[in-house]
Amino acid sequence: MDFATAISTCMVKKYADFGGRASRSEFWFCQLFFLILGFIVGIIDAMVLGYVYEAGPFELISYVIIIIPAIAVTARRLHDVNLSGWWQLIVLTIVGIPIYLYWVIIKGTDGNNDFGSDPIVN
């Protein structure tokens, strides 16, 4: 999946879809998009409104817009490795961050699993 397709899937087609599976490329391209968006909106807040060390209004609005698709794509990515989407809460324990990173980095289950068919179509 390329960058544009991943963003279209994450932000339009599956905005609040917590079911199914997401490939590694879809997940990581969405994370890259969220990071770039955060930098751009932070720069706009700093240059236009003078918010340098705190989140400005544009940054807060962007957070509100991306929170649901960010949680949804993470749930679908965890489904790809045959785990419940609720496992993303493990990052709140701090010590669970390496485990979470391992899960989102590894290759997904080949073929069908408990959460649907393989997102990679050969």
Domain boundaries defined on the chain: 3-105
pLDDT at 17 over 80: yes
The alpha carbons of the chain give a radius of gyration, in whole angstroms, of: 16
pLDDT at 119 over 70: yes
Task: Give mean pLDDT, residues 37-66.
Answer: 92
The pLDDT-based confidence of 52 (bands split at 50, 70, 90) is confident
pLDDT at 122 over 60: no
Position 51 scores a pLDDT of 86
Average model confidence (pLDDT) across the chain: 93
Assess contact for 78 and 87: CB atoms under 8 A: yes
